[in-house]
Amino acid sequence: MITSCSKGGAKYKRRPQGAFHGGIMEQEKDDSGETSRLLNGHIGSRHVQLDTDRTPDVVTYGRVTEEYTEVVANGTETPEEKEGFSCGRASKRQILSFFCVAFLNFSGMACYAIITPFFPNEALRRGASQTTVGFVFGCFSAVQFLGGLVLGKFITTVGSRFVLISGVFVAGSCSLLFGLLEYMEGTTFIAFCFAIRSMEALGVSAHTTAATTILTHEFPNDVAKVMGTLEIFVGLGMMAAPPIGGVLYNLGGFKLPFFTVGGLMFCCCAVLAVLVPPQVDEQEGEKDVSLLYFLRIPTVIMACGVTVVVYSIIQYLNPVIQPYLAKEFNVTAPQVGLIFLLLASVYALFAPAWGWLADKKKYARIMMTLGLLVLSAGPLLIGPSPLLTDYVTLVPKKLWIIIVGIVAIALSIGSVLAPLFNVMLWAASDAGMETDFATYGLVSGTFGAFMSMGSFLGPTVSSALVERFGLPWASTAFSGYILFSMLLVVAFTIGENVYKRCHAGPSTEKEAHLK
């Protein structure tokens, strides 16, 4: 483990940096007149050799280590070589690690989403209720939530490379076993669905957690960029898997989609065992960052609530849209897959623009408010809502209206999602928490937890509502749920601005926390 070494009386001060980079230490001029020189860089760190016998100064943030140089006698700082996240500047090992993990993220989400176009009808035909189908979808996210917390705590004890490879193996095995459920019926079918799906979620949680840890070591100076880029592959796996699953189901029945994903995961497991080198898992030093303090910040509470809303809307159609479209419009499984592919394509097309705007703090609340407003229109058109067809005849009950609603959801979810992580991070900073990697980890874990909560609640609640009231009324309820969330965000923003104007000076709580 690398630890902070003696400063030898040298004083450091923090220079403020951007939201996703740790502050850089500047050493004040030392009376001894020592000079320093940056000799070379190595993967994951920058090494510094002093002209004297003193050890280089190191500041450690969890698994990400930065080494800093001392200043020369004239008070200027030694130039450092900046390693950007670029294939042209990355080493072969870094490139291989990135693309292996990117493929893993895609495959892991494919394990979750590939069943969307055909499984609901299969489950209903074998004796499951609509609510049970929703729980089968939702249990995946619930287990991921719990597994991520546990594995994140003990991954350095077990070993990140072992967790990575074993997680892929477990997920692939469960995918193959799920294909064998074709030969089961009734209660046995339902019980094994829950058991295998839960184990598969644990495997996916294991390899995604380990992959994040390994990439943090490989790209210590570009953690935010790398993780953000990998989210693209998560989204692609989540949304592109349904059309692939629909085509495979039509070609080979229930077994083929699961056997294909399982075989792919086994091949990936073998490749990882060869390409991923042994990892030096460093024990994290304890850092006093309070989760309860963070969760009591009003802006964080608001952002967590919006995260649950958005991810529940993303997932609520998964268990219910295929049976409804098949019954009302005679839509086949591959066609349902193409509708989900449309959702993925529109989201991916506009995601870069939303991301660029989300980095500007003044646009964050506007993006969230307008995004929620447009997002609320999507579920109203999916059905469509009886409010638009029976009470007020505004839209016809046609398939193209439902597709327009899905496009509205795809356009608006990026506008709401993009600023959420930054809003939490800015709130932590405004509350006096240091902008270091401990805080970043806290924000990331909180965001992921509430993301999983929304992913669990969406399909579970939608299945229960559809079973009792039908999809049109269930979608109407989700639309009202979004509108209510938007009004809360507007009210919170107005109240926050009023409070800031009435208390222009720095808050007592923030000053106390900074001391």
Where do the domains of the chain lie, and which CATH numbers do they carry?
A: 1-82 (no CATH), 91-285 (1.20.1250.20), 286-515 (1.20.1250.20)
pLDDT of residue 371: 92
**Residue reference for tokens 């729980």:** 135
The two tokens of residue 201 are: 């979620």
**Which residues touch 270 (CB under 8 Å, ≥6 apart)?**
none
How many C-alpha atoms does 219 have within 13 Å on its Cβ side?
27
Q: Amino acid identity, residue 10?
A: A
Q: Name the DSSP class of 183.
A: G
How many C-alpha atoms does 162 have within 13 Å on its Cβ side?
9
Query: For residue 50, what are the β-bridge partners?
Result: 36
The two tokens of residue 157 are: 């004890």
**CA distance linking residue 201 with residue 22, whole number of Å:** 33
pLDDT of residue 474: 92
Per-residue pLDDT of the chain (515 residues; tens, 9 = 90+): 444 444 444 433 344 444 434 333 344 334 444 333 333 344 333 344 444 444 444 433 333 333 333 333 333 333 333 444 555 566 777 787 788 888 787 877 777 778 777 888 888 888 888 778 878 877 878 887 777 767 766 666 777 788 889 989 999 999 999 999 988 888 899 999 999 989 988 888 788 777 776 776 676 665 445 665 666 677 677 767 777 888 888 888 888 989 988 888 898 888 888 877 776 554 444 455 577 788 889 998 999 899 899 989 988 887 788 888 888 888 887 788 788 778 877 877 777 777 777 767 777 889 899 999 999 999 999 878 888 888 877 888 888 999 999 999 988 988 888 788 778 878 888 888 776 545 665 676 677 778 878 888 888 889 889 988 999 999 999 999 999 999 999 999 999 888 888 876 554 445 444 44
H-helix or E-strand spanning residue 155: helix 130-158
How many C-alpha atoms does 484 have within 13 Å on its Cβ side?
8
CB 435 within 8 A of CB 19: yes
**Which residues touch 188 (CB under 8 Å, ≥6 apart)?**
none
The two tokens of residue 364 are: 């964050």
C-alpha closest to that of 421 among 462, 451, 460, 391: 451
Q: How far is CA 196 from CA 46, 165, 242, in A?
A: 45, 19, 19
**CA distance linking residue 457 with residue 117, whole number of Å:** 20
The two tokens of residue 374 are: 């447009």
pLDDT of residue 22: 39
Give the number of other CB atoms < 10 A from CB of residue 31. 6
Torsion angle of C-alpha atoms 228, 233, 236, 239, degrees rounded to 10: -80
The two tokens of residue 267 are: 């091949």
**CA distance linking residue 256 with residue 260, whole number of Å:** 6
CB 46 within 8 A of CB 80: yes
CB 36 within 8 A of CB 28: no
**CA distance linking residue 317 with residue 511, whole number of Å:** 46
Query: For residue 65, what are the β-bridge partners?
Result: 60
CB 341 within 8 A of CB 242: yes
**Which residues touch 355 (CB under 8 Å, ≥6 apart)?**
228, 414, 418
